[in-house]
Amino acid sequence: MPIRPESRSNCRFIDQFCEDAAVYLFCEIFFMFLTRHRDENATLVSLIKPLATQLGFVHTLMPEVRVVSACNAVARMPQIYEPSLMVIAQGSKVAYLGPRTMEYGAGHYLVQALSVPFECETFACDEIPLLGVAISIDRAVLGELVLAMGLDPERSVAQTPESMTSAVLDDDMRQSVERLLRCLHDPLECRIMGRARLREVLFAALRGPQASVLRALVEQQGQFARVAASLNHLHEHFAEPLNVETLARCANMSASTFHEHFKRSTLLSPVQYLKRLRLLRAQQLLLSEGLGVAQVADRVGYQSTSQFSREYKRYFERSPGCESSVC
């Protein structure tokens, strides 16, 4: 016989679907998971909501800043972000990268130092939508700040930094993001102060717990920064035939050394990385531009449409022709 506690939850999702007591308890915990840090992040939520004019990622007055929202849970699926700081004000996400699992829920931010394919799960509901902001990492500005702060970019740890990691949103970081978001509501302030607000956010991140990985991005002689340079080239030329020697030259390494450090930083070989990047870019084209499967396959560098369809289905567990219906 279904058992329901007398107290009602604040989330319709829970009341509608959780008839069993054990499931109900799980969902109440899930609700608590979504609403952590609500008071601390109330200002962030109020600033993001008006900018989130539609679900998913939405551009703002600054090309380096996008807001993101979701109103329902999204199952684990492949994803890729450009190097960025992803600040979550409400709701929660869980990232899976190789053997690692990283939660970056409300009150946390994800430091995406390198653009690496990973899998992502989203927790949200209508009453408590996911709300966040993605802030691009400008390596030139980052380098200027490292020098101005007197930090030694060459003094990074010997171990390869993590390409993706999460951190608690401390007061300095939260307030700098709030000031950035406020200026996005005022075109004049954005034009005059926007760049300064971006620098302030990166400055706060460089004083945070994940400063070492950000310093490693501007360490000119470091392996991490060299791999980052090769990834920039790969993202600009992903539709072209892979040439490991060219990527190695971008990183100023021998082919064998490059292969070793590339896999250590991204957890993938160059060939594996290129395949996933092409498939993820293909999915974006299918969803956003409504192109045919053959057109998309050609645009992302596949010579065989049938091979593209097989690899797409293997990676996303659905055929590329199904994406229009999913959208």
* Domains in the chain with CATH codes: 1-35 (no CATH), 42-216 (2.60.120), 223-268 (1.10.10), 273-326 (1.10.10.60)
Q: What's the mean pLDDT when you consider all of the chain?
A: 85
Q: Which has more pLDDT, 169 or 34?
A: 169
3: pLDDT strictly greater than 50: no
In the prediction, which pLDDT does 159 show?
Answer: 56
Long-range contacts of 267-275 (CB under 8 A, 24+ apart): 267/97, 267/98, 267/116, 267/163, 268/116, 268/117, 270/234, 270/242, 270/244, 271/242, 273/116, 273/117, 273/234, 274/234, 274/238, 274/242, 275/311
Residue 66 gets the label, from left (phi > 0), alpha (psi -120 to 50) or beta, of beta
How big is the chain, counted in residues?
327
Average pLDDT of span 172-184: 96
Pull the structure tokens for residue 205. Answer: 């991140």
Cα–Cα distance measured from residue 108 to residue 112, given in angstroms and rounded to the nearest whole number: 13
13: pLDDT strictly greater than 50: no
173: pLDDT strictly greater than 70: yes
H or E element at residue 200 = helix 187-206
In the prediction, which pLDDT does 162 show?
Answer: 82
In the prediction, which pLDDT does 321 show?
Answer: 82
How does pLDDT run across 131-153, given as a tens digit for each residue? 999 999 999 999 999 989 887 65
Say how far residue 62 (Cα) sits from the centre of its chain: 18
Average pLDDT of span 256-272: 92
14: pLDDT strictly greater than 60: no
How does pLDDT run across 97-123, given as a tens digit for each residue? 988 898 888 999 999 999 999 999 999
E-strand ranges in the chain read: 56-59, 65-70, 74-79, 84-90, 92-97, 100-103, 108-112, 118-123, 130-136, 164-168
In the prediction, which pLDDT does 153 show?
Answer: 53
How does pLDDT run across 248-262, given as a tens digit for each residue? 998 989 999 999 999
Pick the range with the lowest mean pLDDT from 213-217, 266-270, 309-313: 213-217
Give 86's strand partners.
Answer: 110, 134
Cα–Cα distance measured from residue 83 to residue 183, given in angstroms and rounded to the nearest whole number: 22
pTM score: 0.81
From residue 164, how far is each of 54, 102, 111, 239 by CA, in Å? 27, 9, 6, 25
300: pLDDT strictly greater than 60: yes
In the prediction, which pLDDT does 20 show?
Answer: 53
Pull the structure tokens for residue 251. Answer: 């990183």
76: pLDDT strictly greater than 80: yes
Pull the structure tokens for residue 214. Answer: 């950000």
Pick the range with the lowest mean pLDDT from 24-28, 119-123, 303-307: 24-28
Look up residue 189 and give its amino acid. Answer: E
Whether 43 contacts 182, CB under 8 Å = no
How does pLDDT run across 52-68, given as a tens digit for each residue? 999 999 999 999 999 99
Q: Name the percent of the chain in helix, strand, coil, to the closest 5.
A: 50, 15, 35
Using DSSP, state whether 89 is helix, strand or coil. strand
